Amino acid sequence: MISPQPAGKPVLVAPEKPAEKVIPRRTSPLRYFRVILLALILTPVCTYWASAQVVDRIFSLMVPPVMITFAIVLINKLLQRFAPRLAFTEGELVVFYVMQTVVCVMSSEWMDMINNYIVTYAINANNDATIKNHILPYISSFLYIKSDKHLRAIEMGGYSLSYALHHLGMWWRPVLGWSAIVSLVCFSMLCINSLMRDQWTRRERLAFPIIQLPMALIAGGGRSPFWKNRYVWGGFTIMAAIDLLNGFHFLYPSVPWVNVRFMGDLSLWFPSPPWNSIGWTPIGIFPYIAAIGVFMPTDLLFSCIFFFFVRKGEQVVVSAFGINQGVFGGGGLVPGPPYLSEQSWGAFIGLFISALWVARSYLREVWDEIKRGVRRKGEISHRAAFAGLIISVALLGWIGVSIGLAFWLVVIYIALYLVFAVAVTRLRAQLGAPSHEMAFMGPNQMFVDFAGTQTVQEATITRVVTTFYFMNRIHRDDPMPSQLESMKMGESSGVSQLLIFAAVLLATVVGVVVGHLTRIYLNYHFGYGSWGYGAGFGTGTVGTVSDLVDNRRPPNPVAISAVLSGLLVVMVLDMIRFRYPGFPFHPAGYALAMNFGLDYYWFGLVVVLLIKVFVTRYYGLPGYERLRNAALGVILGEFVVETLWAVMAMYTRHATYTISINGRLGWNQ
């Protein structure tokens, strides 16, 4: 380059060297054993937190794993200063966070339902004819306790940990049975993620918004510029102060507060038909959710908001025609206008097909590697992952046969669920949805809509509903997105994908088993159904079985048309986006908005969209970087204070303030 001088001729100087890319320091494989051991030791802490404080793990970025990792990073900073040889590397901390996240997921929503199934039917049989006549005769004793003879202690509570440990004998068979089912489902997901990782992380370069805070905390083992950024600590201080103030207001109402949760309900502004058919439309910011929106691509952020109002418009139009509106599938599985669950299903099938289409050349390469048996250094080979997928689904089919279901039925059911899980996983990696609550969606809905129940035996209905209910409820904590995010974090930090695969698999099995044991203890100690609103779950299947057995129905052509219309919308939007890259409407926003999850936090996304557009328009990339750091501080500040209130709630057994979309006293606190 030429360097101008004040006088004389220009002087030729050597060009500047480009900035070197910082490559995370690799860790000896032997050192990973200590961090895996530490993660296993802290597993009961994570499972207890996830079990006792439902509100802290019902969104994509869960509080327990982030805060447990945050504590380890703080300790690591001390080690770096006073005992550097003992300090954890970035790679070790990634493995630790990955295991804590998977443990938390496995002991969360699925466990809410599965563990309670084990005793729910026996406890309630004498008071419920459906359970006594239509459920207990058909369910497997390998998965359920069918007599309440030894359940009196659980119903009453008041027993110690020692008592619970001495009475685990009757629990081991159902715990191991359910652990096998769940672990096989998760292993099939893990194999799919292993097959698709290169496409989603390297070729499509999906944004992975949910991992931004964990990666910032972990980077450099806790030595990244994040820890000294004034915008981070500015956002942290403001939000921590607000949440502390609001927490004291919750305990002492005379203390003033700053309401950032539910501030109103838009539906109250429209009391007259048909406008009142928009239903509950809360106005709330939920700062940690809005802050996650900062990392979402702008077109996806806009699409979520746009299609949210499209859904509300559908509800108004249906009401204007005098048609009674249906619910979000689930419960009784009775479809009704505007067929929102069916539209959602069509949209997610469309996203799955779109993902395959975009990856078609990559999938040809994968299939070629499977046929040739290509080995991949430091990774699971594609042949091994494909074989693992086939074997896990086949074993699930065999388990289905052992409990009285047809092999083909179980395989189709699992395949349909995996289609949905793949679509949710890619959506979260691309969109970074703060929560992907799909109210009461699942394969049950599709089987009822497409096949009907007229020719289905009562035993088959009961076994399908009770065995696979965990695949048919809310989907806030589906394991597959966390698995892919774990792989991305490992890739970014130079951790072997083989190690990440093994760590995720180990955490899955341990998380399921310890999650069961944690809930068993909570039931013995506090009494069945009395230690949190996640307790006592499982009776939701009773109404579904009763409805499907007593009200036989043929295939529903209108519901099928709604599924196809949702699929068509996604295909058309994708086709337009492929031809016109600047097209602002993204099909992922449509898929997410057609169900209930956005209702909690839509207003916060509107606020952050306006802020993000303003900052990028007038302050450019430097301004966005400052906004990004402030958003990280907001999330961290909220999570730290939420941890304080959660610990207080667990210790005192009294409700405290929460930042969550639900409250500790109930979902609408």
> Which residue is listed with tokens 């936090």?
601
CB 22 within 8 A of CB 174: no
Residue 520 has pLDDT above 60, yes or no: yes
* Residue of higher predicted confidence among 228 and 29: 228
* Residue of higher predicted confidence among 541 and 189: 189
User: How does residue 582 score in pLDDT terms, banded at 50, 70 and 90?
Assistant: confident
CB 558 within 8 A of CB 187: no
Q: In the prediction, which pLDDT does 424 show?
A: 95
* Residue of higher predicted confidence among 325 and 429: 429
Q: In the prediction, which pLDDT does 26 show?
A: 56
Q: Is residue 23 part of a domain?
A: no
Torsion 200-204-205-210 (CA) sign: negative
Residue 23 has pLDDT above 60, yes or no: no
Q: In the prediction, which pLDDT does 544 show?
A: 87
Q: In the prediction, which pLDDT does 621 show?
A: 93
Q: What is the domain extent for residue 510?
A: 30-652
Q: Which helix (H) or strand (E) holds 240?
A: helix 230-251
Q: Compute the mean pLDDT over every residue in the chain, rounded to the nearest whole number.
A: 89
Q: Which helix (H) or strand (E) holds 498?
A: helix 497-526
Q: Is residue 24 part of a domain?
A: no
Q: Is residue 592 part of a domain?
A: yes
Q: Is residue 3 part of a domain?
A: no
Q: Is residue 12 part of a domain?
A: no
Q: In the prediction, which pLDDT does 13 show?
A: 38
Q: Is residue 572 part of a domain?
A: yes
Reported as a single tens digit per residue, the pLDDT across 73-123 is: 999 999 999 999 999 999 999 999 999 999 999 999 999 889 888 988 998
The mean pLDDT value for 648-654 works out to 92
Q: In the prediction, which pLDDT does 4 show?
A: 41
Q: In the prediction, which pLDDT does 7 show?
A: 41
Q: Is residue 526 part of a domain?
A: yes
At 612, is the secondary structure helix, strand, or coil?
helix
Q: In the prediction, which pLDDT does 93 show?
A: 97
At 310, is the secondary structure helix, strand, or coil?
helix
Residue 178 has pLDDT above 80, yes or no: yes
Q: In the prediction, which pLDDT does 531 show?
A: 64
Q: Is residue 6 part of a domain?
A: no
Q: In the prediction, which pLDDT does 539 show?
A: 63
The mean pLDDT value for 517-521 works out to 93
- Count of domains forming the chain: 1
User: How does residue 328 score in pLDDT terms, banded at 50, 70 and 90?
Assistant: low
User: How does residue 28 score in pLDDT terms, banded at 50, 70 and 90?
Assistant: low
Reported as a single tens digit per residue, the pLDDT across 585-594 is: 999 999 999 8
Share of the chain above pLDDT 70, in %: 92
CA distances from 457 to 30, 146, 220, 405, 462 (A): 55, 21, 59, 11, 9
